[in-house]
Amino acid sequence: MTGRQPGFLSSVATVARTELRELLRQPGLYIFIPLILVQVLGNSLLAVGAFDTPVLLTPGTSAVQIANQVILLVLLLLLFYTVESLERERTTGLSQILYATPCRTAAFLAGKAVANSVVALVVLAASLVASWIALLVQHTVPFSFAPYALIWGLLLIPTFLFWTAFVTAIYAAVGNRYASYGIALSALIYTGFRTLTREISWAGNWPLWGRALRWSDLGFFETDRLALVLNRVMVLGGAVFFVALAVKLFERRGADAVRTIHRLAPRTLGAAALRLGGFALVPLAAWTVLVFQVTNGLEGGVFKKETKDYWAKNLKTWLDAPLPDIARVDVAVTVDPKRHALRSAGTFTLVNGLDSTLAQIPLTGGLDWNHLKWTMDGKAYEPEDRKHLFVFTPERPLAKGDSVVIGWKWDGFLPRGITKNGGNTDEFVLPSGVVLTGFEPSFLPVIGFMEGVGETKDNKTEARKYPRDYWKGITRAGYGATAWFPARVAITGPAEYTLNGPGVCTRNTVKGGLRTQVWETDHPIKILNIVCGKWKTKQGHGTTIYYDPAHPYNVEEMSSTLDAARHWYSEWFLPYPWRELKLSEFPALAGYAQGFGTNITFSENMGFLTKNDAKTDATFLVTAHEAAHQWWGNILTPANGPNGDFLSEGMAHFSTLLLFEKVKGARGRMEFAKGIESRYGDRRRVDDERPMYDIDGKRESDETVMYDRGGWVFWMLYDFMGHDRALAGLQRFIRTWSESRDHPALQDFVASMRPYARDPVAYDAFVKEWFEDRAMPEYRVTGAKKEKRAQGYDVTLTVRNTGTGRMPVEIAATSGERWAKPSKEPSYRESREGIVLGAGESKALTIHCSFSPDKVVVDPDVRVLQLNRKQATVSL
């Protein structure tokens, strides 16, 4: 009879089968997996986007959206099952027998790892089922397995292998269950802390937590693909290293003093370290390259130093320096999406519109501009380079009305390198699309010093404090140019791309595989942008939607909304001055939309992947809001100072309320109004909120005040003044200020609207409460009851304003469902009474009804902004 050592694979299989049988007996697996499925499903179905609108999931977005929680849950389960699996033989007393068998240590540990990996597979399978259910519930986007295989398979499985190897190595080193838990949890908590504080980078983000995975259906990880590959190589190499370390350290025999001394001998230690060092070469090399790439990338040390130098060199000298107006822009841009490259050559014709002379002109250039050449009045020129702020000094100072032509030519790459750890990339030249804007020097210089560039928590200055009357006199624009200017933008790129710019396309030619489109403004403009992609088109009435073929779901709704916005905003505010209105989709490397003149841009996850329901038409909302910026933000540009953004974002929400009422009816407007009212109530900071006149965007809660409270207050002012008077005032306001070099603040708006008020005294009182102070009503109904009378029912109740502000409000006793389905016979009935309550005031009233009411509603038509609206409704 003969015996031989079992093979490696057969040993792994034997250990794995044994461990798997034990694993299946564990009750935790059957408890946690259903909980994980419910958690994942809930988070998927409740995902929200811009303005807290529900998101239409795709396989890729759902895989990325739940990746963080899946990673955390799997890592915790793997930690528990790996440690308990390794500890089992010792606690049951079988270790002396098992460790004496001829089964190799590597096979023994590998078998346990294979069995425990089933935990990860089961969690991923449960998450896949949850995602499939979520997509099925939405019944819009078809299910596809490929994105899950890419994200969870190629990207996440290396994380699980690394973690299992790391935990095994820890246990092999310390040989104690609790010490292993402590060390592993400490490493996990430290990584999580670094992620939450956004200090982690690709070189340390082994779990791929945080913003590392930024998905777009239009292109797969194009900005950080190299970082992802290097990170996964690092993690897989680290897993191999820890496997080798675990095999080396795992003790199968009891401690022996002589063996320990021999193992600690320098020669023995050196030989062991040398052998293990070979396994560390790959992860160490990948880590080194990642550190270098991050340092030289978009958010690395080199970028931070360059921007900080720009800030420090120019802040005191050029912050409020006088600037010329743009009289004309001519620019030719060539984009090469495959190489992430672009070239720009163009000219600014600049004119002095000030009463004083201009001796110098500062232009901010890009950090990634190469082979830069400048001209002034057609001649080569070398401006003073103040860390990318280029200062031009004409031969003679420019008197009022004098002009100068400054030209440039450069090439570069955008984005320049990788991000620190994923996250937003606002402007880019990528195969999935191109986005370039005049807000940054991405394709042409920015006139003047850019105040926010280079500010960090270490060198941030105190926010500027403006006096309440800062708006008097000439005020700069909050963004874009001070005055209107004509422009010609020529864009060249691959023939398969559509290349959109501002204005009207006057030439579209293809030669040698390259397309050139020339765009010229048929009416002057204030800011330029470029957006390119491989699109299909949807033509409307003077509007065009450019969308990716993978996202046709909301295009019809977006097109009809854009048509309605162009028509009604033109009638209500000012006729649209341009011939065309375009809306183009770009990849969701950043989740935003921007309403440039004639050339609106939408990230794919706004509008195109917005989910609608019976109450709130979210696609209509985001499209109407961004279309409103053609008027509030472009035709009229607000002031650079406190409260100016109310005339952009607040007015866009107000315009959306008007359009909802006109197109979708009263219910559409009311549901949107209740949505932003609830959002404001949830996000405001009562102890930190300032009056609307003082909002400057510097505090956390300022955004909801500008958007949500601002839109509501403009609506209530419109309701207070009446439709005709309010629109007459708005038309005069936008016409007057759109033609001025001065730019309006909220105080200018209030003063401009006052002559159109029926009662100026009441108008002033409204302004004082809502603009100068922080009025916020909150109504409560108490003692509500109904009594049968000969002619119907009497409802008696008391209404109290527990908040602030004094507003007229209606109280309704109602019966039935107000918004019944079309298939049902209308059964809604109501009786109303109007009251006026100031802060802390209450009033008892009786409502006579010819029917039997079932509830009392304060402000049934949603016309008064208030807190906790749901509590202002009581059942009878």
Q: How far is CA 387 from CA 40, 412, 415, 552, 701, in A?
A: 48, 17, 20, 45, 34
Q: How far apart are CA 410 and CA 3, in angstroms?
A: 76
Query: Which of 708, 738, 772 is a domain's end point?
Result: 772
Rg (CA), the chain: 33
208, pLDDT greater than 70: yes
Tell me if 734 sits within 8 A of 577, measured CB to CB.
no
Q: How far is CA 777 from CA 184, 302, 802, 840, 868, in A?
A: 52, 51, 7, 9, 10
799 against 465, higher pLDDT: 799
Does one domain contain both 102 and 160? yes
- Report the SS3 class of residue 754: helix
Tell me if 664 sits within 8 A of 616, measured CB to CB.
no
Of 544, 614, 617, whose CA–CA distance to 581 is shortest? 544
Per-residue confidence band for 272, with pLDDT thresholds at 50, 70 and 90: low
498 against 252, higher pLDDT: 498
Whole-number pLDDT of residue 817? 87
Can you spell out the DSSP letters for 521-569?
-SS-BS--EEEEE--EEEE-SSEEEEE-TT--TTHHHHHHHHHHHHHHH
Q: In the structure, how many helices (H) and strands (E) does the chain have?
A: 22, 28
Whole-number pLDDT of residue 460? 67
Does one domain contain both 856 and 723? no
Least confident stretch, 397-411, 452-466, 620-634: 452-466
Range of the domain at 231: 11-255
Of 386, 442, 446, whose CA–CA distance to 414 is shortest? 442
Q: Note the pLDDT tens digit of each residue in 389-438.
A: 999 999 999 999 999 999 999 999 999 889 999 878 889 999 999 999 99
**What is the number of structural domains in the chain?**
4
Whole-number pLDDT of residue 475? 87
Q: How far apart are CA 638 and CA 643, in angstroms?
A: 9
Whole-number pLDDT of residue 509? 96
**DSSP β-bridge partners for residue 837:** 807
Across 224-228, 486-490, 640-644, which has the greatest mean pLDDT? 486-490
**DSSP β-bridge partners for residue 490:** 332, 518
Tell me if 643 sits within 8 A of 694, measured CB to CB.
yes
Q: How far apart are CA 223 and CA 590, in angstroms?
A: 12
| For range 56-72, the mean pLDDT | 88
451, pLDDT greater than 80: yes
Give the full edge-to-edge strand order of the sheet including 487-494: 379-381, 369-376, 403-413, 341-351, 325-336, 487-494, 514-520, 504-511
Does one domain contain both 243 and 137? yes
* 157 domain residue, yes or no: yes
- Report the SS3 class of residue 742: coil
Tokens for 422? Answer: 């994923």
Does one domain contain both 32 and 179? yes
Whole-number pLDDT of residue 1? 44
**What kind and span of H or E run contains 710?**
helix 710-721
Tell me if 558 sits within 8 A of 619, measured CB to CB.
yes
Q: How far is CA 527 from CA 215, 482, 644, 748, in A?
A: 29, 10, 17, 23
* 591 domain residue, yes or no: no
Tokens for 793? Answer: 């029912």
Q: Where are the alpha helices (DSSP H) in 139-176?
A: 146-148, 157-174
Q: How far is CA 583 from CA 437, 569, 623, in A?
A: 15, 16, 9
Does one domain contain both 764 and 785? no
* 695 domain residue, yes or no: yes
* 602 domain residue, yes or no: no
Does one domain contain both 783 and 756? no
Q: Note the pLDDT tens digit of each residue in 165-189.
A: 899 889 888 888 899 999 999 999 9
* 270 domain residue, yes or no: no
Does one domain contain both 20 and 93? yes
- How many other β-carbons are positioned within 10 Å of the β-carbon of residue 773? 14
Question: What is the rounded average pLDDT for all residues in the chain?
Answer: 88
Query: Which of 749, 772, 795 is a domain's end point?
Result: 772
Backbone angles phi, psi at 577, to 5 degrees: -85, -10
Does one domain contain both 766 and 786? no
Tell me if 436 sits within 8 A of 366, measured CB to CB.
no
819 against 100, higher pLDDT: 819
| For range 713-724, the mean pLDDT | 96
- How many other β-carbons are positioned within 10 Å of the β-carbon of residue 695? 24
Per-residue confidence band for 112, with pLDDT thresholds at 50, 70 and 90: confident
DSSP conformational letter for 212: -
Does one domain contain both 97 and 165? yes
Whole-number pLDDT of residue 200? 93
Is the bond preceding residue 502 a cis peptide, omega within 30 degrees? Answer: no
- Report the SS3 class of residue 94: coil
Can you spell out the DSSP letters for 563-613?
HHHHHHHHHHT----SS-EEEEEE-TTS--EEEETTEEEEETTTTTTBPP-
Tokens for 266? Answer: 């320098």
* 283 domain residue, yes or no: no
Query: Which of 472, 501, 526 is a domain's end point?
Result: 526
Whole-number pLDDT of residue 106? 66
| For range 364-369, the mean pLDDT | 93
Backbone angles phi, psi at 469, to 5 degrees: -100, 25
Q: How far apart are CA 41 and CA 19, in angstroms?
A: 30
Q: 29 Cβ partners below 8 Å, 6+ apart? A: 23, 119, 122
CA 705 to mean position of chain CA atoms: 18
Write the CATH number for 853. 2.60.40.10
Return left, alpha or beta for 546; rule: phi > 0 is left, psi -120 to 50 is alpha, else beta.
Answer: beta
Does one domain contain both 84 and 228? yes
Per-residue confidence band for 356, with pLDDT thresholds at 50, 70 and 90: very high
Q: How far apart are CA 558 and CA 561, in angstroms?
A: 5
Whole-number pLDDT of residue 258? 52
Does one domain contain both 799 and 750? no
Tokens for 2? Answer: 């003969």
Of 686, 623, 606, 323, whose CA–CA distance to 482 is shortest? 323
| For range 90-118, the mean pLDDT | 66
Least confident stretch, 266-280, 311-325, 685-699, 728-742: 266-280
Per-residue confidence band for 98, with pLDDT thresholds at 50, 70 and 90: low
Does one domain contain both 235 and 114? yes
Tokens for 351? Answer: 């004119």
Of 742, 572, 568, 541, whose CA–CA distance to 641 is shortest? 742
- Report the SS3 class of residue 722: coil
> Exposed (0-12), middle (13-18) or buried (19+): which is 732, by Cβ within 10 Å?
middle
Q: How far apart are CA 510 and CA 516, in angstroms?
A: 6
**For a pLDDT cut of 90, what percent of the chain falls above it?**
61
Tell me if 812 sits within 8 A of 799, measured CB to CB.
no
* 796 domain residue, yes or no: yes
Q: Which residues of 384-401 are buried (b: 16+ CB within 10 A; e: fewer)?
A: eebbbbbbbebeeebeee
**DSSP β-bridge partners for residue 518:** 490, 507
| For range 463-489, the mean pLDDT | 85
Return left, alpha or beta for 487; rule: phi > 0 is left, psi -120 to 50 is alpha, else beta.
Answer: beta
Backbone angles phi, psi at 328, to 5 degrees: -165, 150
Write the CATH number for 334. 2.60.40.1730
Q: Note the pLDDT tens digit of each residue in 802-818.
A: 999 999 999 999 998 88
* 637 domain residue, yes or no: no
Whole-number pLDDT of residue 113? 76
Instruction: Please name the amino acid found at residue 465.
Output: K
Least confident stretch, 38-52, 164-178, 430-444, 647-661: 38-52
